[in-house]
Amino acid sequence: MINKLVEKIRKTGAPVVVGLDPMLGYIPEHIQKAAFEQYGETLEGAAEAVWQFNKGIVDAVWDLIPAVKPQIAMYEQFGIPGLEAYKKTVDYCHSRDLVVIGDVKRGDIGSTSAAYAAGHLGKVQVGGSRLSAFGVDFATVNPYLGSDGVKPFMDVCREEKKGLFILVKTSNPSSGEFQDRLTDGRPLYEWVGEQTARWGEELMGEEYSYVGAVVGATYPEMGKALRRIMPRTFILVPGYGAQGGKGADLVHFFNEDGLGAIVNSSRGIIAAWKQEKYAGFGPENYADASRKAVEDMIEDISGALKER
């Protein structure tokens, strides 16, 4: 799957992933209204609004980008109906040949991580059948429990040719509270990065490893250091746009080959219609606003990469 991701980035020229993190506040009134008329102001109604909203955006942007990243929390908050909308979104993106990164940030003791890995990336054994539950292509994984929380995910990746992004340095303001703590003069995130590179060596694709890393756009200097520590690790970079990252800040997350990183934007794309810059589209044409925002983002990042 890492090979497919690299190939699709080359083909689209877009090291960009659209975060499908649909808060109800991002969804235009007319979509919410239609969903609530059908299902009431219920979890089912919210899930239907989310699904219709996502479908519009995917239809508008799928040809520009290699991948999407649904954040499962935004679906999980609506319970079972929300998770049905998550699954429908994953399947629909697959029908558009998009790589799907499930932003699930799971991680637990070995036997439990194995269950998460089976459910999200692999297959689960039920009697004589092997069944897929969510079936995404990559999952994000929290490393706090160490190797035996990560290895079960790697086992499934090996079998299914799926991939991971390990949280190394997250984009949020307080990420330094524990991640920046110094041990022997080096911050924890560097140790996690080094371990991620080591895990990655066990599971190499053609150019990059199936084991990637998450490093926030909001910490460009740390991204530069981590790029060196993890040369064959693909970096998923959240925090572009709404959280503050800009294309020029991101060049050092990439290798000289112009690869090695994929930048996520969620709110900046899916809620583009609410920004002054794209307000001309109007809520009815929210998906066209998203398409324009994707085009602008690709130009910003490609431009910065060319100039470096």
Which positions are catalytic? 105
Of the candidates 7, 76, 91, 299, which one interacts with a copy of itself according to CB under 8 A?
76
CA distance 233 to 235: 6
Stretch that binds a copy of itself, among 61-69, 186-194, 256-264, 286-294 (CB under 8 A): 186-194
Which residue is it, tokens 């080959």? 257
Member of 15, 66, 82, 245 binding a copy of itself (CB under 8 A)? 82
Burial class for 94, CB neighbours closer than 10 Å (0-12, 13-18, 19+): middle
Q: What is the dihedral of CA 51, 57, 60, 64, to 10 degrees?
A: -120
Beta carbon nearer to a copy of itself, 205 or 239: 239
Please list every residue from 195 through 214 that binds a copy of itself, using CB under 8 A.
195
> Considering the complex, what minimum distance in angstroms separates the CB of residue 124 from a copy of itself?
5
Give per-residue burial for 262-293: e unless 16+ CB within 10 Å, then b.
bbbbbbbbbbbbeeeebeebeeebbbbbbbbb
Q: Which helix (H) or strand (E) holds 97?
A: none
**From the list 8, 10, 55, 87, which residue makes contact with a copy of itself (rule: CB under 8 A)?**
87
Q: Are 263 and 32 in contact (CB under 8 A)?
A: no
Q: How far is the CB of 92 from a copy of itself (least distance, A)?
A: 16
- Confirm or reject binding of residue 178 to a copy of itself (CB under 8 A): yes
Q: How far is the CB of 241 from a copy of itself (least distance, A)?
A: 14
Coil, strand, or helix at residue 108?
coil
Shortest Å, Cβ 45 to a copy of itself? 6
Which of these, 100, 120, 13, lies nearest to 54 by C-alpha position?
A: 100
Q: Which of residues 222-281 bind a copy of itself (CB under 8 A)?
A: 238
Q: Which stretch binds a copy of itself (CB under 8 A): 9-17, 57-65, 184-192, 300-308?
A: 184-192
**Shortest approach of a copy of itself to residue 250 CB, angstroms?**
18
Residues that bind a copy of itself (rule: CB under 8 A) add up to a total of 72
String marking each residue 108-137 x if it binds a copy of itself according to CB under 8 A: xxxxxx-xx-xxx---xxxxxx-x-xx---
Task: Tell me the per-residue interface mask from 156 to 175 with a copy of itself, x by CB under 8 A, - otherwise.
Answer: -----------x--xxxxxx
Look up residue 237 and give its amino acid.
Answer: V
Q: 3-class DSSP state for residue 165?
A: strand
C-beta atoms surrounding 213 within 10 Å: 31
Maximum CA pair distance of the chain?
60
| Nearer to a copy of itself (CB atom), residue 42 or residue 255 | 42
What SS3 state is found at 104?
A: strand
Helices (H) and strands (E) counted in the chain, each on its own, are: 12, 12
Supply the minimum distance, in Å, between the C-beta of residue 156 and a copy of itself. 11
Looking only at the bridges linking them, the beta strands covering 182-183 and 186-187 are: antiparallel
Positions 16 through 45 that interact with a copy of itself (CB under 8 A):
21, 23-24, 32, 36, 41-43, 45
Q: Which is nearer to a copy of itself, 63 or 148 (CB)?
A: 148
